[in-house]
Structure 1
Amino acid sequence: MSFMTEVSSLTGRLLVATPALADPNFDRAVVLLLDHDEEGSLGVVLNRPTPVDVADILEGWGDLAGAPGVVFQGGPVSLDSALGVAVVPGDEASAAGSRPRGGGGAGDLVGFRRVHGAIGLVDLEAPPELLSPALGSLRIFAGYSGWGPGQLETELADGAWYVVESEPGDVSSPDPERLWRAVLRRQRSELAMVATYPDDASMN
């Protein structure tokens, strides 16, 4: 049971690729974990914008997508599927535990499933106008990042990822190309120093 508790606790956190991670799919990647338990893990890469506008592939959702209003590549799995991740303002209080009963938090919002705190998944089949008054920001991802049972734990043990707390603003960062450095820089530990790591390791 302690294993379950330990595994479940990573949902909503960020995986930040270490300079040692060799997989080009995840070079300098910042992954938001949307699901993590004994059956495996699922997340989206927050800092891989594509040139494709959201409005070009999902009618009605383009106006809700935060700048840059493009589709992001969430990972190498199921690139032909779309995932919507959003932040609902005012629901941060539920990050630490259960939300008070009643009240119009994200848990009561049709077409939105809370994942962690104010962050959750949007049902892209729902009418956009139903959700638009409540959404603070929205990102659309093509594909996702997935790990089988125990696979992520092995990668963590191998030093491939740093695990850090997420902030609601990470999902909608207006400057996603700099997110890797920004997330590391805000850490109150030696991780802040990793943000200065050169893009070309041979220059170190």
Structure 2
Amino acid sequence: MVGDLRAGQLLVATAALLDPNFVDTVILLLDVNEEGALGVVLNRPSALPVSEVLGDWGDVVEEPEVLFQGGPVSTDGALAVALAVPGSEETVGFRSVTDRLGLLDLDTPAELVVGTVERLRIFAGYAGWGAGQLQAEVEEGSWYVVAGRADDVFRLDTRELWRDVMRRQPGDLALHATRPADPELN
């Protein structure tokens, strides 16, 4: 059962999540269905410029103009998350995830999307879960599931994204933003 998980939400790693691929990560869910879920890590920029790997797309991406480490699956592939210009959601190669936020097919010639995309970020690899796996991880306390915003995807500096997303949550959930990096030192 997929439950309340849906595309466009954020997964925010809890202190219980010790997998080094996901410690302190914020993941944008791009697809959730009965077969599983797929998302990209928003706060792991690499040092590799997009232009060195994907040529013309380097001129279109949001700053910093680097590839982001989207997750441990298919790291030799790339996913592009874009924010469409209002009214351009039917652009060739664009598939909406939620509202104007969606995936852009990188096989589409870059010149065809100029003027139809406000913002673009490219991720090498992704995070993926099989049927029921993500729901089980949420139930065991590995992830907080919260509403996402387009500006979470396109932040210039992602170092404080985890804390900023937690701070804006209602009630006691916001208190987790103040947890120390190593709770045992507290």
For Structure 1 versus Structure 2, the TM-score category normalised by the shorter chain is over 0.9
**Does the C-alpha gap of structure 1 residues 190 and 89 become closer, same or farther in structure 2, counting only changes over 3 Å?**
farther
- Describe how 1:111-150 pairs up with structure 2 within 5 A: 111-150=93-132
Q: Which amino acid aligns with 1:198?
A: P
Which residue matches 1:94? none
Question: Percent sequence identity over matched residues?
Answer: 52
Deviating above 3 A after TM superposition, structure 1's stretches of 4 or more consecutive aligned residues are none
Alignment of 1:32 with 2:37, yes or no, is no
Q: Which runs of 5+ in 2 are unaligned?
A: none
4, 21, 35: which is aligned to 2:17? 21
Q: Which runs of 5+ in 1 are unaligned?
A: 91-103
Q: Secondary structure at the match of 1:59?
A: helix
Q: Secondary structure at the match of 1:66?
A: coil
Deviation at 1:177, TM superposition (A): 1.4
Which residue matches 2:61? 65
Q: Secondary structure at the match of 2:62?
A: coil
146, 156, 167: which is aligned to 1:185? 167
Query: Take 1:86 and 1:138, find their aligned partners in 2: how far apart are those partners?
Result: 4
Checking the alignment, whether the CA contact within 8 Å between 2:88 and 2:116 is kept in structure 1 is no
Q: Which amino acid aligns with 1:43?
A: G
| Alignment root-mean-square deviation, CA | 1.2
> How many positions carry a matched residue from both structures?
186
Query: Take 2:20 and 2:149, find their aligned partners in 1: how far apart are those partners?
Result: 25
Query: Take 1:116 and 1:189, find their aligned partners in 2: how far apart are those partners?
Result: 26
144, 155, 176: which is aligned to 1:194? 176
Query: Take 1:122 and 1:84, find their aligned partners in 2: how far apart are those partners?
Result: 5
Q: Which amino acid aligns with 2:34?
A: E
Alignment of 1:74 with 2:70, yes or no, is yes
Deviation at 1:193, TM superposition (A): 0.9
**TM-score of the superposition, structure 1-length normalised?**
0.87
**TM-score of the superposition, structure 2-length normalised?**
0.96
Query: Take 1:146 and 1:63, find their aligned partners in 2: how far apart are those partners?
Result: 29
Checking the alignment, whether the CA contact within 8 Å between 2:46 and 2:67 is kept in structure 1 is yes
Q: Which has the higher helix share?
A: 1
